[in-house]
Structure 1
Amino acid sequence: MQYTASGRLLSELAELHLDTDTKNWFSQKIKAITEKKSARELYLTYSLCSSKFKDRAFDASKCNDKKLADFLLERNTGLVETGRLALLVNALEADAGHFADKIVRLVQMADSKELETFLKYLVLLPQPGRFSFIAVDSLRTNIATVFDAIALNNPYPTLHFNDQQWNQMYLKAVFIGSDLSKMQGVDQRANADLARIISDYAHERWAASRAIDPLIWRPTTNYLEGTLLKDMERLLASDDAAENRAAALCCHHSGNDRAKALLSDHQDLVGQIESGDLTWSNIK
């Protein structure tokens, strides 16, 4: 799926929610940024959005582009975020060659909230792949909300991370307890290295008698051989119903006859999967 948002559309959407004075201020700032190629105005306005727009009601459904409206609604996007996104998109549309490096500097100077906005909506920027190094670097953060901005409910990593970067993100999400159900592209980006690491991690946790999020197993679905097949046996024999369900989903969707054979004594789970009553979204 292609994600796009024009600067004009975003500006108009933001301005629908502004009083006359603030609307004029915002449009003048965008004009200064785009016509004068003013990085200074971009930096200042991006920061000032928080004070100029805060506490104002915002309804993304007023957007004339339904796909964009749905994207914003799914993320509970507010006016501050929309205003900041409008600034970035307008700047890049005006002169990407001039502003790309300036936006990198903006992000480097940004506070956590400003950085979160950039990461959450990065996929909507023109040629978003040019900023992949910022997204990858954000994986090192110690601020959970910044990490979650790129890792959760965000299509960007699926589209622009390589396997090593994807695996780093997935495993950190596991380690810090992020909600794996909100991570997009898990099935598409599953790979053999990640499946092996998940198994190794699980064995370490089991040895220490520590709990494991059953959602962690989802990327192993197409790699159920050897040790991972034995892991599925253990999960199916567990007293934890969520672990039973996770293993059933992995085995059923694996395309592996040996894995599917493990479900012979779990026809109730097979029936729930085939009817659509059991999915990764409701295993807990």
Structure 2
Amino acid sequence: MSVAESFRPTPAVPHTALRAALDTTARLWLDEAAATIAAEPVTIRTLFPAARRRCGQARLTEHWTVDEAARAVLLTALPRTGPALADEVTRLHRHGTPAERRAVLRTLPLLDLGDLALPVVRDALRGNDTTLIEAALGPYGATHLPDAEYRQAVLKCVFHEIPLDRVHGLPARADRELARMLADFAHERIVAGRDVPQDVRPVVRAFPDVVTEELAIVEKQLERDRKEEI
């Protein structure tokens, strides 16, 4: 399986599913909250945390919960004014609960921020909350993170056992240096007698000319692990 074949893209905010999941009271609240934020942006500081209580937190799709999608609606209601928008988004992330931070990270691709929200992504990647790491490596992070930081983030996902098919942009951004890093990581795990995640295989195999020796070791162990699982 190639890197591209192993990747599952993250869909945009499921607006239709969100509307269907909300009762009349919740839909009315969300519409009024978005209108209020558009007119008076500072009100998002109280309305954003209230989304879970007013709209619920049920699983909406594979990638979104109801409260995350509702918060995305509120964020996209903010006036799009570059640095001012980035400051508000950063504030919401810094002071938010994990659920609120996930919503911020998942909504970044929908906001006109350029590189201004990279500090938010970096903050999430510094922690060990796997849900935040995964959200940070959505479309925004995949587009704006420099190569070296993106590679380190992918390696952190492997270390924390986050499936690589949840890392956005991997088919396009996988390169020889990332393949070498993953092969080295896999080699260290094998030497330590530990399992090697199967999903490093497509990335490593894509660049055999760079990791020839490590690749042979990794391939042998991965194949052995695969047979033992069957």
TM-score past 0.5 threshold: yes
* Cα contact 1:14–1:83 (8 A) shared by 2: yes
Q: Deviations over 1:51-107 (max 9, x none)?
A: 00116796xxxxxxxxxxxxxx452x23212210011111034x4554331221111
Unpaired segments of 5 or more residues in structure 1? 59-72, 245-282
1:162-241 equivalence runs, <5 A: 162-225=146-209, 228-238=211-221, 240-241=223-224
* Cα contact 1:49–1:84 (8 A) shared by 2: yes
Tell me what 2:104 maps to: 118
* Cα contact 2:118–2:145 (8 A) shared by 1: yes
1:91-106 equivalence runs, <5 A: 91-93=78-80, 95-96=81-82, 98-106=84-92
What is the CA-CA distance between 1:174 and the residue it aligns to?
1.2
Q: Deviations over 1:4-55 (max 9, x none)?
A: 77xxx95x8755554444444333322222123x31x101111000100116
* Cα contact 1:187–1:218 (8 A) shared by 2: no
State yes or no: 1:160 paired with 2:144: yes
The worse-fitting range, judged by mean Cα deviation, of 190-199 and 113-122 is 190-199
Provide the C-alpha distance between the structure 2 equivalents of 1:243 and 1:13, rounded to a whole number of angstroms.
Answer: 38
What code does the residue aligned with 2:79 have? L
State yes or no: 1:46 paired with 2:48: yes
Structure with the greater alpha carbon radius of gyration: 1
Indicate the SS of the match to 1:177. Answer: coil
1:4-43 equivalence runs, <5 A: 10=15, 14=18, 17-36=21-40, 38-39=41-42, 41-43=43-45
What is the CA-CA distance between 1:197 and the residue it aligns to?
2.0
Indicate the SS of the match to 1:99. Answer: helix
Q: Deviations over 1:106-136 (max 9, x none)?
A: 1110110110111123222234543122112
Provide the C-alpha distance between the structure 2 equivalents of 1:29 and 1:79, rounded to a whole number of angstroms.
Answer: 15
What code does the residue aligned with 1:190 have? A
Match of 1:87 among 63, 74, 99: 74
Provide the C-alpha distance between the structure 2 equivalents of 1:236 and 1:17, rounded to a whole number of angstroms.
Answer: 46
What is the percent sequence identity of the aligned residues?
22
The CA RMSD over aligned residues, in Å, is: 3.2
The answer to which structure, 1 or 2, has the higher relative contact order (CA under 8 A, 6+ apart) is 2
* Cα contact 1:112–1:146 (8 A) shared by 2: yes
Indicate the SS of the match to 1:225. Answer: coil
